Amino acid sequence: MIIGQSSAEKHFAVPSVKSCRTFNKSRLQLVFQQANSSQAAIAPRRRWYLLNLTSKTGIMSRLLHTTGNNMFSLAFGIGTQNRKEEWLEVYYPEPLINPSASLIATISSLTAYEGGNQALPLDPSSIRSLSEAVNIHSQKQILQQFRDASSPIVLTVLEHDSDLTSTPEAYLKLHLLSHRLIKPNDINLQGIFPLLPNVAWTNLGAIDLEEVEQARINARVSGKLLTVFSVDKFPILTNYFIPKGVRIADSARVRLGAYLGEGTTVMHEGFSNFNAGCEGPNMIEGRISQGVMVGSGSDLGGSASTAGTLSGGGNTVISVGEDCLISANAGTGISLGNRCTIEAGLYITPGTLVEVLDEKLEQVMLAKARELSGQDDMLFIRHSRSGAVQCRTNRQAIQLNSTLHTHN
């Protein structure tokens, strides 16, 4: 007896998963009858789902214990490995957030998945079985296309949003961000850098750095040229996914893992790191650093900058509110509320001394900028003669040109 069992649970003795593998058909029917008669009285935290499997040897069964639909994510992916069969990158056509219990049950019955966070290589036989059993149309289509793949296929299941443990897991979380299934800073990316290999991104795909020269020779011998576009841990977003309703003038300046809301325009000098982005619509001509989220309607001017947390010792995650303007060559190391403006060429660091002015433009306090972090309606300017940084009430919110952001 388990402490906390209801009377129905005591009556309904559920066998172990291991013992289910030896059930015969009549025993299965008995279990179904017991389950149906007692289901209403069984506590939700101890729900059991019985899955029948058909094989060449007859009917098998597997009993899956679940605490409800609390699975974080899963996806079927196709990727690249080096000669040591180490993952270099993974492409997930359609990642899922909070997949259904029935899909998890199907996957558990046909693969080696036994819970937790796992990246499972799939052989042709498993891919074929899954393509026949999975009843989600989009996922079924993906699996059917994977049947004849020459590249390695992987099933990545994340039961929990915990620290990363593998390259396929890292790529899945980057996909979730760029597919707008989760927002920056709402996902655990701890441990991502050691798991992303430094890769040569070429016109022939991702290549291990130790294998580039041989690949270059092989290309030449076959009458081709190998072009290396970059050497980096993070790939280009648009090589994996194009978010709906966005314009990106230079695709190399937006990494996989960037969150770009619908209506966003990223101009040639704009940049968005992973785990960063904007709600949309937005005009991005400056830099959105890791961890920074920009609110709807805001404009980052040419070469404007936002302070991230990856280097320089900063550990404060900042955000930019709605309808803000960070003018050309300006920047911020503090959070901005809604309707804030920073004049061109002015960088506000947390320690910047700011003269706070009232409605009559008289100084009411001298504060460090961090004390103003997150406030609405701030206008940061420099006094034209003294050079002092001043904060006034911003009486005019910026407005984006709708024609630039509604026909993407």
Q: What is the pLDDT of residue 364?
A: 95
Q: What is the pLDDT of residue 189?
A: 97
Distance of alpha carbon 77 from alpha carbon 158, whole angstroms: 13
Q: Which two tokens stand for residue 82?
A: 């080096």
Whether pLDDT at 397 is above 80? no
Q: What is the pLDDT of residue 209?
A: 98
Whether pLDDT at 52 is above 50? no
Question: Which residues sit opposite 64 in a β-bridge?
Answer: 49
CATH 3.30.70.1400 assigned to domain 200-232? The reply is no
CB contact at 8 A, 87 and 81: yes
**What mean pLDDT do residues 3-12 have?**
37
Edge-first strand order for the sheet with 276-278 is: 258-260, 276-278, 293-294, 319-320
Whether pLDDT at 18 is above 90? no
Q: What is the pLDDT of residue 260?
A: 98
Q: Which of these ranges, 44-48, 78-82, 126-130, 318-322, has the smallest mean pLDDT?
A: 44-48
Pick the CATH number of 73-197 from 3.40.30.10, 3.90.950.10, 3.30.70.2010, 3.40.50.1100: 3.30.70.2010
Distance of alpha carbon 358 from its chain centroid, rounded? 43
More confident residue, 35 or 93: 93
Whether pLDDT at 243 is above 70? yes
Query: Where would I find the beta strands (DSSP E) of 9-124?
Result: 48-55, 58-65, 73-81, 87-91, 96-97, 118-122
Distance of alpha carbon 352 from alpha carbon 387, whole angstroms: 12
Cis peptide, bond prior to residue 281, ω within 30 of zero: yes
Q: Residues near 168 by Cβ (< 8 Å), separated by ≥ 6?
A: 77, 79, 87, 90, 119, 154, 156
Across all residues in the chain, what is the average pLDDT? Answer: 85
Of the candidates 235, 172, 229, the one whose C-alpha atom is nearest the C-alpha of residue 198 is 235
Q: What is the pLDDT of residue 309?
A: 80
Annotate 4-20 with three-state secondary structure.
CCCHHHHHCCCCCHHHH
Has this prediction a pTM greater than 0.75? yes
Q: What is the pLDDT of residue 187?
A: 98
pLDDT, one tens digit per residue, over 186-225 is 999 999 999 999 999 999 999 999 999 999 999 999 999 9
Distance of alpha carbon 250 from alpha carbon 285, whole angstroms: 11
Distance of alpha carbon 12 from its chain centroid, rounded? 42
**Which positions are annotated as active-site residues?**
285
Domain positions in the chain are 7-65, 73-197, 200-232, 237-404
Of the candidates 220, 258, 222, the one whose C-alpha atom is nearest the C-alpha of residue 238 is 258
pLDDT, one tens digit per residue, over 122-159 is 999 999 999 999 999 999 999 999 999 999 999 999 99
What fold is seen in the domain 237-404? UDP N-Acetylglucosamine Acyltransferase; domain 1 (2.160.10)
Q: How confident is the model at residue 329 (pLDDT cuts 50, 70, 90)?
A: very high
Q: Which of these ranges, 40-54, 122-136, 145-159, 365-379, has the smallest mean pLDDT?
A: 40-54
**What mean pLDDT do residues 309-333 have?**
88
More confident residue, 176 or 57: 176
Q: What is the pLDDT of residue 300?
A: 98
Whether pLDDT at 50 is above 70? no
pLDDT, one tens digit per residue, over 61-89 is 333 443 345 899 999 999 999 999 999 99
Distance of alpha carbon 256 from alpha carbon 235, whole angstroms: 6
Residue type, 259: Y
Q: How confident is the model at residue 407 (pLDDT cuts 50, 70, 90)?
A: low
Q: Which of these ranges, 10-24, 228-242, 364-378, has the smallest mean pLDDT?
A: 10-24
Q: What is the pLDDT of residue 405?
A: 63
